[in-house]
Every structure is written in structure tokens, then in C-alpha cells.
């Protein structure tokens, strides 16, 4: 499969009203690799009424089912986690996947969940930034002595270092201008959220280019992707209803589906995706939320050649 824009897929990670279908996951992964998709991505939602698999463990399984497909997180809510444990888990995953890991990080859009993890959201940005520094140093330095506001290390050593050197590529997500500024300074890439419309993503892409100019960074060195919730169905109303049902379960906002998704016939979907590319995406993460295997085949047969 060839296309001017790189194509990725969102993994089947949620299971509404039924068991977790491991065979379906394996079939999806192996078919995505066979069809030539560049990468497969997961999201993090620990709490919620919709069954959703934990992202790092899911990518460990994905690494065992594939050999070429790159594996990404979009995004891990790293401020909710111990950076020491997470650095170890991700370094391990980078080895298990033979260096195919992409680490997408962010703060998440729901600060109300922070107390469930033992702290409030008031200083979550500082905790996020400090945690990333701890992870980077554990990945790259033989011994780490660090005295921060949240974490303290005294000659700490972590082995093995990640297979990718100096560490797996870091991608950032977020909407606030400060989050985009951090992406320009610290990240290899930026992933536009699936819960953001094409118009919002276009504004973020413009701001990213401006911030690159202000920091003397070549915009071509910052990869830019966009998660897009996609439903292909000649019956546009039926696809819209199914998207709204999933959005209600996952985001608690059924109406959000119509604001951010691309759905309808293959012609309508191709047109919507071309608009995302025109807005600035160099990678499209196509994310079906039902009939995932059928969508995978349709993406390759009906969509890829039109992009």
C-alpha cells in the first residue's frame, strides 16, 4: 500500500457489551501489518464504564503478534504514573518490539480523575514535565541523581536502556498553547486528538508552525499526526448513530461524534480525510470503533489510494 500521507490505525481497545476478543485483536494486528499500515496506536482510559484495555500491556501483546508495525501510545497520561515504573515498562517494551515503540504523552482532558491516583490536579503540569525529565535521564544516563518537587533519585541506575537511542521518539498531545510549545521544544511529533475537530486541528497546526519559527526549529523536523474516528457506511445515518453510541460510552458525549468524526460513504470519508491532510497532518491515524476488521480492509482498498 502506498500513499502520499502515512497511514496508521487505532487498535481495537474497547469492547462494548461483550467479552474482550483477543482473537479479534490478533487478527486486526496481523492484517494491519500485512496491508502495509505504518503503525498502530492505543489510548489510555483507566477509569470509565466502557471496557478499555490498558495501553502498555496491550502494546506488549501487539509486539508479539507483529514484526514490522510500529506501535504508539496516543497518549499516556504520564502525570498519573510513576515515571520510574513507566520508564522501566517502556524500555522493556522497546526491547520486546525490537525498537518499534513510539511514546505519545499528555495530560488528559479530565483533571477530575487525578484524586483517584493520590493527588490533585493543581500542579499536574509541573508533575508532567518533571516526570518526563526523570524518564529521559533514566533512559540515557548511567546513574541519575535528581532532586525535584515530586521525585528524588540518588545515583539511581536503570538497565537495560531502551533499544532505540537515545530513547523511543516522544510525541506530545494537547490543546493549550503551552502544550504545543512543549511539543516544539521537547518532542519528535505532535498527535492531534481524536476528540478535536478538523478545524481545531488546523488551528493547532498553524500554531505549531509559528512556534517552530519562534524557537528556530525547522517545522519539517516536527512530525504531525491526527487521530480521526472513521466510519464507512453507505447509510450515513446508521454510521452516525453507531458513532454517537460509542462516543457516549467512551467520552460521555454522544454529540461529540458529529463534531469530530469522518463518516459516510467511502467518497465522503476520503473527502473528509483529505481535509485533515490539508490542515497539516502528515500521518493519519484511522480509528474505527466498530466493525474494525471490515474497516481495515476498506481503508486499504477504498481510501489509501485516494490520499
From CA 168, how far away is CA 19, in angstroms rounded?
33
For residue range 248-285, what is the model confidence (pLDDT) as tens digits?
Answer: 999 999 999 999 999 999 999 999 999 999 999 999 99
Question: Residue 221: pLDDT above 70?
Answer: yes
pLDDT at 82: 97
CA dihedral 217, 219, 225, 226 (to 10 degrees): 100
Structure confidence by residue, pLDDT tens digits, 109-123: 899 999 999 999 999
The per-residue pLDDT of the chain, averaged, comes to 96
How does residue 2 score in pLDDT terms, banded at 50, 70 and 90?
very low
Mean pLDDT of all residues in 118-145: 97
Residue among 7, 71, 16, 66 at smallest CA distance from 290: 16
Please write the tens of the pLDDT for every residue from 223-256. 999 999 999 999 999 999 999 999 999 999 999 9
Does 90 have pLDDT greater than 80?
Answer: yes
Domains in the chain and their CATH numbers? Answer: 6-306 (3.20.20.30)
Q: Which residues pair with 285 in a beta bridge?
A: 8, 227
Q: Exposed, middle or buried by CB within 10 Å (0-12, 13-18, 19+), for 231?
A: buried
Q: Where are the alpha helices (DSSP H) in the chain?
A: 22-35, 55-65, 83-96, 124-140, 177-186, 198-214, 236-250, 256-260, 266-279, 292-298
Cβ within 8 Å of residue 180, ≥6 positions away: 172, 174, 190, 204, 207, 208, 211
Q: What is the dihedral of CA 193, 195, 196, 197, to 10 degrees?
A: 130
C-alpha cell at 60: 506488549
Amino acid at each position: 500500500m502506498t500513499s502520499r500521507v502515512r497511514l496508521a490505525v487505532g487498535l481495537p481497545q474497547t469492547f462494548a457489551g461483550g467479552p474482550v476478543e483477543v482473537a479479534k485483536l490478533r487478527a486486526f494486528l496481523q492484517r494491519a501489518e500485512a496491508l502495509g499500515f505504518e503503525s498502530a496506536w492505543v489510548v489510555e482510559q483507566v477509569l470509565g464504564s466502557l471496557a478499555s484495555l490498558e495501553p502498555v500491556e496491550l502494546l506488549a501483546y501487539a509486539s508479539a503478534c507483529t514484526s514490522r508495525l510500529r506501535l504508539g501510545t496516543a497518549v499516556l497520561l504520564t502525570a498519573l504514573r510513576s515515571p520510574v515504573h513507566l520508564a522501566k515498562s517502556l524500555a522493556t517494551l522497546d526491547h520486546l518490539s525490537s525498537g518499534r515503540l513510539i511514546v505519545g504523552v499528555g495530560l488528559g482532558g479530565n483533571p477530575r480523575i487525578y484524586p483517584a491516583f493520590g493527588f490533585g490536579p493543581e500542579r499536574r503540569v509541573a508533575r508532567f514535565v518533571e516526570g518526563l525529565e526523570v524518564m529521559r535521564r533514566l533512559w540515557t544516563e548511567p546513574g541519575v541523581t535528581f532532586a525535584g518537587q515530586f521525585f528524588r533519585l540518588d545515583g539511581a541506575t536503570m538497565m537495560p536502556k531502551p533499544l532505540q537511542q537515545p530513547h523511543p521518539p516522544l510525541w506530545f498531545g494537547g490543546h493549550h498553547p503551552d502544550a504545543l510549545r512543549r511539543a516544539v521544544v521537547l518532542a519528535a511529533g505532535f498527535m492531534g486528538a481524536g476528540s478535536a475537530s478538523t478545524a481545531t486541528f488546523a488551528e493547532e497546526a498553524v500554531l505549531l508552525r509559528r512556534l517552530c519559527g519562534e524557537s528556530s526549529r525547522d517545522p519539517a523536523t516536527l512530525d504531525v499526526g491526527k487521530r480521526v474516528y472513521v466510519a464507512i457506511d453507505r447509510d450515513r445515518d446508521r454510521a452516525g448513530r453507531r458513532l454517537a453510541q460509542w462516543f457516549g460510552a467512551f467520552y460521555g458525549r454522544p454529540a461529540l461524534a458529529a463534531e469530530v468524526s469522518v463518516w459516510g460513504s467511502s467518497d465522503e470519508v476520503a473527502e473528509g480525510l483529505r481535509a485533515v491532510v490539508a490542515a497539516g497532518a502528515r500521518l493519519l491515524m484511522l480509528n474505527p470503533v466498530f466493525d474494525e476488521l471490515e474497516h481495515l480492509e476498506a481503508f486499504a482498498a477504498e481510501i489509501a489510494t485516494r490520499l
